[in-house]
């Protein structure tokens, strides 16, 4: 989450948010909640995935809040399109489903966070700030499901030769990545490794830079696929 005194995008600009949902009432509720925050600017709304990709390409939002189930193009495909067009956009999937397959597909598509629609509307601004600051937004129950999927993926990928070259991470960066894969947040990782939260943030930033990825969970998926990381 945002540290005290930190708000908005780099340079003090508001966080630019795109809202994507086929239900107008949900879009309006989210827009009202976010518009009340001085450091957040709702720059656009879309009612389906195809429109979301087109708007993201034009508006270049910092964060996209997106439903999974939508007409014309669903949120998973839209997330892939947005990440291809505007890689810097952080994507939060908003859905009624906590099925493992949906969760894993969302992460593989580039989503940074995953919120269930029963979330308190007042919690959404903090979620937007969190993913904008580079946090993964996944609750402990979902993290446990992800770990199971990662373990299954690791066993399947063990049969495939790794694709070289694989970027080299330091021993400490690998320690951080292993803890990220266990669903730990920065504070928990810092406590586990006896280092500061800022040091954890720096390690995560270095990992993403080396792997040329945009989210912590993307890094875990990559590391499992390339057999840098084994999850049991």
Residue entry with tokens 């990545």? 177
More confident residue, 88 or 148: 88
pLDDT for 3: 36
Task: Count each helix (H run) and each strand (E run) in the chain, helices first.
Answer: 10, 5
- CA neighbor of 25 nearest in space, from 42, 40, 45: 45
Beta strands in 31-143 (DSSP E): 40-46, 63-67, 90-95, 113-116
pLDDT for 173: 95
Give mean pLDDT, residues 114-118: 80
More confident residue, 162 or 211: 211
**Cα→Cα distances 115→34, 85, 202, Å:** 15, 23, 26
Q: Where in the chain is the domain with CATH 1.10.10.10?
A: 143-225
10-137: CATH topology is Rossmann fold (3.40.50)
pLDDT for 30: 94
Instruction: Write down the architecture of domain 143-225 according to CATH.
Output: Orthogonal Bundle (1.10)
How far apart (Å, rounded) are the C-alpha atoms in residues 55 and 69?
18
pLDDT for 11: 53
In the predicted model, is pLDDT for residue 6 greater than 50? Answer: no
pLDDT for 217: 75
Average pLDDT over the chain reads 82
pLDDT tens per residue, range 29-83: 999 999 999 999 999 999 999 999 999 999 999 999 999 888 888 999 999 999 8
pLDDT for 2: 36
In the predicted model, is pLDDT for residue 194 greater than 90? Answer: yes
Q: Where in the chain is the domain with CATH 3.40.50.2300?
A: 10-137
Contacts of 93 (CB under 8 A, 6+ apart): 66, 67, 68, 75, 79, 106, 111, 113, 114, 115
pLDDT for 144: 62
- CA neighbor of 36 nearest in space, from 9, 60, 51, 17: 17
pLDDT category at 107 given cuts 50, 70, 90 is: confident
Question: What is the reported pTM?
Answer: 0.69
How far apart (Å, rounded) are the C-alpha atoms in residues 89 and 82?
7
pLDDT for 51: 95
- CB neighbour class for 88 (10 Å; exposed up to 12, middle 13-18, buried from 19): exposed
- CA neighbor of 94 nearest in space, from 74, 73, 80: 74
């Amino acid at each position: 989450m945002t540290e005290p005194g930190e708000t908005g995008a780099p340079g003090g600009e508001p966080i630019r948010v795109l809202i994507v949902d086929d239900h107008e009432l949900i879009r309006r509720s989210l827009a009202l909640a976010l518009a009340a925050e001085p450091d957040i600017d709702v720059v656009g709304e879309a009612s389906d995935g195809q429109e979301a990709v087109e708007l993201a390409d034009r508006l270049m939002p910092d964060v996209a809040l997106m439903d999974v189930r939508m007409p014309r193009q669903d949120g998973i495909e839209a997330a892939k399109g947005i990440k291809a067009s505007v890689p810097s956009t952080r994507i939060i999937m908003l859905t009624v489903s906590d099925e493992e397959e949906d969760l894993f597909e969302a992460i593989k598509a580039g989503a940074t966070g995953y919120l269930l629609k029963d979330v308190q509307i007042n919690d959404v601004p903090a979620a937007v700030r969190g993913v904008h600051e580079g946090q993964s937004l996944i609750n402990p129950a979902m993290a446990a499901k992800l770990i199971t999927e990662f373990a299954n993926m690791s066993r399947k990928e063990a049969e495939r030769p790794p694709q070289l070259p694989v970027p080299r991470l330091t021993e400490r960066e690998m320690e951080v990545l292993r803890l990220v894969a266990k669903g730990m947040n920065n504070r928990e990782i810092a406590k586990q490794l006896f280092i500061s939260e800022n040091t954890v943030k720096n390690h995560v930033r270095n990992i993403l830079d080396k792997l040329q990825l945009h989210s912590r969970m993307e890094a875990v998926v990559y590391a499992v696929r390339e057999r840098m990381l084994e999850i049991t």
